[in-house]
Amino acid sequence: MNPVTVIVGSSIGGVRTAQALRASGYDGEVLLVGEETALPYDKPPLSKGLLAGKSTVEDITLLTEEAAAEAGIRLVPGRAATGLDVAGRWIELADGERLRFDDLVIATGARARPSPWGGMPGVHVLRTLGDAEALARDLGKGGPLVVIGAGFIGAEVAATARDMGVEDVTLVDPAPAPLHGVLGPELADWCARLHAGNGVTTRFGVGVDGIDRSAEGLLVRLADGKRFPAATVVVGIGAVPCDDWLRSSCLRLDDGVVCDAYGRAAENVYAVGDVARVPHPRKNALVRAEHWTSTVEQAARVAHNIARKESPRAHEPVEYVWSDQYDNTIQITGHTGGPLSAVTVPGPDPGRAFARLYAEPDGSFAGAVTVNWPRALITCRKAVGSAASLEEIRGSVSAKRPVTKTGARP
């Protein structure tokens, strides 16, 4: 009998695992089970182009029925997995059906942390296509919009709403500035100014006490007593891994499915993407990344490890995430922010493009944030995990600036 790989979760992690199984020459059956009925779609555009109406559902589709059939991937949409028996090698679906597997890949991702101030009409989270469509409809009616949480999703929603012409946008976070943890104080301040400069009212360093509903609409109450009326509220306060369906299995769960360096959670059971907690090669810790690129890398590794059991490969992730805000592309790689010391290298157009390079306490290069300067990012991404010093990387990044006509560097 042909071996069967069942993949649970049909977003980027699940789809890329299925495709990579085929690319690695796997000739067993591949089943892609997903609780959503829509064709698999990609998430980053949900806070960017799709929300703004610049891209369509077709543009963000990851796998069409034809492409799935051609690759020999069986789509099982609209079915949620509710249980797993590792020893018996089957999963259970919500309707009670059991699917047998030889190998299982858990790719159930994460869901938005729900509003602790209650759900009511006009209060949104953003994780699924349905969320994005509902938010786009409300934003189409105009403001005021209050975004609670200035992480990636909150900051992008505020930026996209301004780009869509929403007049009155407020961004609130108890941290001192947006993306404070990954950017570090100085660059986070730059990001705060970016939003203020684009007409967003910013309220940082203050938390939310509650959301009230009145005849006029919603009212967001801050801890300092200020009140912001809102037609629409977006709660962007993080995500929680979808691992509850594994509670009764023997897998080790710790804010995600704990895996070894090969992506294995148990014999013949693997996890990828936002749901997976994997050993970090340099930090000596288990890390659950919530980033697109690490999901794709994990999918490729796990597929290889299923298809080529005799030569498994360990994960060697280099943290990488991008964020688009207004007309800026912010790219982050390696270990950044926090208390690390840092230098700024001006880019080809210093007003718009620059790189901030971070050093570990011993002076070695830790990571970088680049703004509108992808060529510097490439250099930094390749250097993460090497033994290079900050000074060496500063030299090679500076060399990426185009030389002006006079021969001087700008």
Partner 1 sequence: MAVVKADPGLCQGYANCVVAADDVFDLDDDGVVVVLRDEVEESEKDRVTDAARSCPVSALVVESS
Ligand X SMILES: Cc1cc2nc3c(=O)[nH]c(=O)nc-3n(C[C@H](O)[C@H](O)[C@H](O)COP(=O)(O)OP(=O)(O)OC[C@H]3O[C@@H](n4cnc5c(N)ncnc54)[C@H](O)[C@@H]3O)c2cc1C
- Which C-beta is closer to partner 1: that of 84 or that of 371? 371
Selection from partner 1, ligand X, none that 377 binds (CB < 5 to 8 A by kind) is partner 1
- Which C-beta is closer to partner 1: that of 329 or that of 396? 329
How far apart are alpha carbons 49 and 41 in whole angstroms? 13
How far apart are alpha carbons 156 and 139 in whole angstroms? 14
User: 350 CB contacts (<8 Å, ≥6 apart)?
Assistant: 410
Instruction: Please identify which residue in 82, 201, 268, 293 interacts with partner 1, judged by CB under 8 A.
Output: 293
- Whether 63 contacts 73, CB under 8 Å: yes
Selection from partner 1, ligand X, none that 257 binds (CB < 5 to 8 A by kind) is none
Which letter does DSSP use for residue 168 in this model? -
Number of helical H runs and strand E runs in the chain: 9, 27
Distance, C-alpha 311 to centroid of its chain:
30
Selection from ligand X, partner 1, none that 107 binds (CB < 5 to 8 A by kind) is ligand X
- Which C-beta is closer to partner 1: that of 176 or that of 374? 374
Selection from partner 1, ligand X, none that 280 binds (CB < 5 to 8 A by kind) is none
- Which C-beta is closer to partner 1: that of 42 or that of 209? 42
Establish if 20 lies at the interface with partner 1 (CB under 8 A). yes
State in angstroms the smallest separation of the CB of 374 from partner 1. Answer: 4
Start-to-end C-alpha separation, the chain: 66
- Which C-beta is closer to partner 1: that of 204 or that of 320? 320
Piece of 12-20, 122-130, 145-153, 172-180 that binds partner 1 (CB under 8 A): 12-20
Instruction: Please identify which residue in 292, 354, 358, 365 interacts with partner 1, judged by CB under 8 A.
Output: 292
DSSP 187-206: HHHHHHHHHHHTTEEEEES-
Task: Tell me which H or E stretch contains 301.
Answer: helix 292-307
Establish if 280 lies at the interface with partner 1 (CB under 8 A). no
Establish if 296 lies at the interface with partner 1 (CB under 8 A). yes
Please state whether beta strands 81-85 and 90-93 pair in parallel, antiparallel, or not at all (unpaired): antiparallel
- Whether 46 contacts 139, CB under 8 Å: no
- Whether 124 contacts 234, CB under 8 Å: yes
| Count of residues interacting with partner 1 (CB under 8 A) | 26
State in angstroms the smallest separation of the CB of 314 from partner 1. Answer: 17
How far apart are alpha carbons 348 and 372 in whole angstroms? 10
Sign of CA dihedral 65, 292, 49, 121: positive
Establish if 398 lies at the interface with partner 1 (CB under 8 A). no
Cα–Cα distance list, 221 to 59, 117, 153, 171, 320 (Å): 38, 10, 21, 13, 35
State in angstroms the smallest separation of the CB of 243 from partner 1. Answer: 25
State in angstroms the smallest separation of the CB of 252 from ligand X. Answer: 18
Selection from partner 1, ligand X, none that 20 binds (CB < 5 to 8 A by kind) is partner 1
State in angstroms the smallest separation of the CB of 132 from partner 1. Answer: 17
Show the site string, 189-218: x = touches partner 1 by CB under 8 A, - = not.
------------------------------
- Which C-beta is closer to ligand X: that of 138 or that of 274? 274
How far apart are alpha carbons 172 and 193 in whole angstroms? 14
Q: What are phi and psi of 8, to 5 degrees?
A: -105, 120
Instruction: Please identify which residue in 142, 375, 389, 392 interacts with partner 1, judged by CB under 8 A.
Output: 375
Selection from partner 1, ligand X, none that 23 binds (CB < 5 to 8 A by kind) is partner 1
Please report, as ranges, the residues that interact with ligand X according to CB under 6 A. 8-14, 33-36, 43-44, 46-47, 80-81, 107-110, 126-127, 153, 242, 245, 273-275, 290-293, 295, 321-323
Selection from ligand X, partner 1, none that 110 binds (CB < 5 to 8 A by kind) is ligand X
User: 300 CB contacts (<8 Å, ≥6 apart)?
Assistant: 16, 20
Selection from partner 1, ligand X, none that 11 binds (CB < 5 to 8 A by kind) is ligand X
Residue with tokens 């509903």: 213
Q: How many CA atoms lie within 13 A of 71 on its CB side?
A: 24
Q: Which residues bind partner 1 (CB under 8 A)?
A: 16, 19-20, 23, 42, 44, 292-293, 296-297, 300, 320, 322, 324, 329, 331, 348, 372-375, 377-378, 381-382, 402
